[in-house]
Amino acid sequence: MTGTEIGNTGPEPAAGGTRAARGRPRSAAADRAIVEAVLRLMERGVGVDALSMEGIAREAGVGKATVYRRWPGKDVLLLDVMRTLDEPPAEVRGESVRDDLVEFLERLRQRGLAKRNSALLRAMVSHFHSHPWLWREYHDTVIRARRELLHSVLRRGMARGEIRADLDVELLGELFVGPMLSRAMLREGAELPEGLAERIVDCVLEGARPRE
């Protein structure tokens, strides 16, 4: 890792991630090539700590300056790579709290089944946890939106009488997503069978429904 890479020897970048050079339009093709280069290197077994801006540039077939014009350091680049792996959360249909929760967890299951994304996410999440500013940026731009969507589903269920209104929304959300995230990201090789989302939702809902 070079001494110019942010997150190790330099100051934290400003929130908002990437920065392009003034007066020079960015090439979307070059951006994609650089992000794909990171993904290919990691798929080949190159660890996050072993990645270098120079190696990424070689893999992408661009000059080192091209990479640095877009990302001032490796950690800022990794943050954008993580964002490309996380599609924005889609709105749920709102027909019933059970259906919405199943749909939400099924998306997590499908992401876990995508072996490429799952392996990369495990490696990068571990790296992000050791760099607080990186985790904060990832949380604020990716995780927060998913959590807010889940909480909105739970609050709607409470308003409709499908879930007890005295429950802690944040804790309840963790009870729903925790088992799926554990299998998808923390337990390598754990099975993610069809119907798992339904089983998790039904199990947690059984304890969360209003009491007679």
pLDDT digits (tens, 9 = 90+) for 164-188: 999 999 999 999 999 998 887 777 6
CATH at 191: 1.10.357.10
Which residue bears the tokens 């350091």?
73
Q: Given this model, what pLDDT does residue 25 score?
A: 54
Q: Is 166 inside a domain boundary?
A: yes
Task: In whole angstroms, give the CA distance from residue 118 to residue 3.
Answer: 30
What is this structure's pTM? 0.66
DSSP for residue 158: H
Contacts of 31 (CB under 8 A, 6+ apart): 70
Q: Could you give the number of structural domains in the chain?
A: 2
For 45: left if phi > 0, alpha if psi spans -120 to 50, otherwise beta; the answer is left
pLDDT of residue 7: 35
Query: Which domain, by its residues, includes 45?
Result: 28-72
Averaged pLDDT, 59-68 = 95
Count of all residues that appear for the chain in the document = 212
Query: CB-based contacts of 95: which residues, under 8 Å, 6+ apart?
Result: none
Q: Are residues 67 and 90 in the same domain?
A: no
Give tens-digit pLDDT for 121-174: 778 878 888 888 988 988 888 888 889 999 999 999 999 999 999 999 999 999
Same domain, 148 and 65: no
Average pLDDT score over residue span 190-200: 93
